[in-house]
Structure 1
């Protein structure tokens, strides 16, 4: 990796995977897999382009657009599009690299990719967003297709943006196909897709709790700290509440909304926050002078407090479960230790690479050294794959020209999350020797399981030998 330009996010993702492979017995049992890692760490293709569009003042604007088509050994490239000012090649390579192994763990036929632009939808009119999406898809359309590359939404790309892009693709290519996922339900979308990442995350943690407690515990009575307030955080919170847990926080880029109430957040309050996000407002606006009257009634200052410029981890008191659902590197080493001091038992990432490497090291060290009081950590590639899994199910429905019921999709999602958990668990037992009394490393197990599946397919296809 030393001959690459500085790409800190990608280098972190690569080192996290490579270190767990090195620290297992995988390379001892299969030394040839070192070649596969070298090949898999380089994208098959990186596409970069400009997007020129006109704002509502009639002034020219330009943004950088990208698509990283990282690995197609298991199927068409699959991964989201992110519209955010922070988007650059390093972030998209990290996300695409993670996506390869995440998609492998779903058991579905999907390769890995990621894309987006340094465009900020916040503060833009619907007309400006439509113009940008048209310009972006005009270039991207020549590189994607239902059997080539199937993007989805990510940060800054909601069903509105997916709709604008799908319409432009259809006009240019003169064909209706499942080229994007996250579509509207009336034109090819799948039920459960908006909920899938958050629901899937909670289903995964449910298996962690049941395994660690030997079936004696559930979410019931557990205090759950959640970061983020977008799609993933909202639906994770709703599922936790449904299963009997208590949600004590949500957050956004400006600060954290905390409650010390024994009941935690209610479904109605989560829905109020969802409406706030649709209106593109920050959580801080709940208590502002010009706040929506409904939210003023819904969120009492006697129940909630808003803390600006902090993440929630060190501000919620006792906690059992931590679910980072905002962005990368949102749990630091200091915050990881703070969570442990607060009694956390389970940490699972709803965001991609939600914990710094230092935080992961602390969680893993505590898992290994505290046999009767372990912290069990699950990486995003295993715990948050529910979204891309249901995107894969959407692709299958589009190919067959049919729609499954909500119950059918949810049942398949639950099966996929169970399989992801069990695959990581059993692979860790096979390649990481830590003794029966220690909870297996889900980081190592998930990394090895995803990597082995991709590497074997690449070898069969002549990508390495």
Structure 2
């Protein structure tokens, strides 16, 4: 297999899907050597089968707004690969959603889920509907219309959706309620559900906590303590806020958070009380991060991003391609020692190249942010057994999973000079499990 030839063919077939092609290129260029050690993979054309989704559903979603006007959005579900378990991946509601973005997310999810060691395949879905500025009733009507089309394609042993950008507990609840009505069953078809109807403790915290746990494993390889380290975080949703919460508990100093409008900078570090305000601002009032700056008088940069401030650790936790090559060079010039991704593919290829060339600790999202889907897998296990584990039990299992993912990355990513290339390690480890399962199951 030659990665350049595979990529050229995919570019010819899918020319208008840049995010998808970017994700594929990052994986196949790092697994090429390992793939070619197994000639049986090439005989079965495994790489092409793994790059192209099993199936794609796209549909119109018509719903009625509060003024009685009919609105129309597009809905999608990408079922990428189920070699090791039912399709599993979030649903994203955001105006930027298109088929390319969801194909990249589903592709990444396949390897991320493989790394967790849990029985989950990869999938992703969403819509170009944005909950921002919509009433609860409008969000409910949209979610119900979305699931009225999607419900027949999902199920506890078929495809298990969850939340993502724009989809939190409110949206999951509305979608699960409609699914339950249409399918006439009460099963663990969604994860991220409310605790009252099958949700798992620690699920909202899981992606942020898991990212910090992976970071701690990386830092330990160089004998570095997280205490008193200065951390720049992007985003202010679940991933970013719970990342900040865990960092504060461990004695680190968080100096930035952001949203799509701008960035705050608190040089002395965000306090626990200030973080509580951000939680309330985002979860109860669905406000904007500039309101924090107005409340506490800190620096706010309209349209700004956190990567120009001096820090020890950067944790991009907002969205794809939010940190580019110039940002990476600025971070390195300012002495950053580690980057751990809470979002999916937040660093551009140019940025990743800079981090790897500098040989800093760099954790790609498919490894570092796998905590969310890991606890989703634990939620599925609890649902199937009709059990509910304590937060301590779930947190311990999460720590164990993130440690295991780190060990897999080291196994496949260790280079001759002792440096661990976590990008290569995560890609090869995730790929090999899926590849072996596909080979065992024949050409289907």
Shared fold (TM-score greater than 0.5)? yes
SS of the aligned residue for 1:212 comes to: coil
Match of 1:173 in 2: 183
Match of 1:26 in 2: 34
Structure 1 residues 342 and 31: CA distance shift in structure 2, 3 A: farther
Match of 2:395 in 1: 410
Distance 1:6 1:32 in 2: 32
1:227-238 aligned at under 5 Å gives the runs 227-238=234-245
Give a deviation string over 1:107-150, Cα, whole Å, max 9, x none: 00000000011101011111111110110011110100000000
TM (norm. structure 1) is 0.91
Distance 2:78 2:36 in 1: 32
Give a deviation string over 1:254-311, Cα, whole Å, max 9, x none: 11110111xx1112111111111121211112345xxxxxxx3xx2x2xx21111111
Distance 1:274 1:405 in 2: 23
Match of 2:280 in 1: 275
Aligned residues of 2:91 and 2:126 also touching (Cα < 8 A): yes
- Of 320, 335, 346, the residue aligned with 2:338 is 346
TM (norm. structure 2) is 0.95
Deviating above 4 A after TM superposition, structure 1's stretches of 4 or more consecutive aligned residues are: none
Give a deviation string over 1:30-53, Cα, whole Å, max 9, x none: 244342211100100100011111
Aligned residues of 1:423 and 1:446 also touching (Cα < 8 A): yes
SS of the aligned residue for 2:221 comes to: helix
Match of 2:3 in 1: none
Asked if 1:138 is matched to 2:148, the reply is yes
Aligned residues of 1:52 and 1:135 also touching (Cα < 8 A): yes
Give a deviation string over 1:143-180, Cα, whole Å, max 9, x none: 00000000000011111111111111111111100000
Distance 1:426 1:161 in 2: 39
Residue 366 of structure 1: how far off its partner (Å):
1.1
Structure 1 residues 228 and 140: CA distance shift in structure 2, 3 A: same
Aligned residues of 2:109 and 2:366 also touching (Cα < 8 A): yes
Structure 1 residues 287 and 350: CA distance shift in structure 2, 3 A: closer
Distance 1:449 1:428 in 2: 9
Distance 1:8 1:344 in 2: 29
Distance 1:18 1:198 in 2: 27
Match of 1:6 in 2: 16
Aligned residues of 2:264 and 2:293 also touching (Cα < 8 A): no
Q: Which moved more, 1:305-314 or 1:101-110?
A: 305-314
Match of 2:290 in 1: 284
Q: Show structure 2 runs of 5+ residues with no match.
A: 1-9
Match of 2:365 in 1: 380
SS of the aligned residue for 1:29 comes to: coil
Match of 2:112 in 1: 102
Asked if 1:308 is matched to 2:302, the reply is yes
Aligned residues of 2:293 and 2:299 also touching (Cα < 8 A): no
Match of 1:397 in 2: 382
Distance 1:226 1:7 in 2: 28
Residue 62 of structure 1: how far off its partner (Å):
0.7
Match of 2:442 in 1: 462
Distance 1:251 1:382 in 2: 23
Aligned residues of 1:212 and 1:439 also touching (Cα < 8 A): no
Asked if 1:320 is matched to 2:307, the reply is no
Distance 1:249 1:282 in 2: 14
Distance 2:336 2:18 in 1: 29
SS of the aligned residue for 2:335 comes to: coil
Q: Show structure 1 runs of 5+ residues with no match.
A: 289-295, 368-374
- Of 201, 223, 229, the residue aligned with 1:222 is 229
Q: Which moved more, 1:25-34 or 1:194-203?
A: 25-34
Distance 1:346 1:139 in 2: 43
- Count residues in correspondence: 431
- Of 122, 147, 152, the residue aligned with 1:112 is 122
Match of 2:101 in 1: 91
Aligned residues of 1:105 and 1:450 also touching (Cα < 8 A): yes
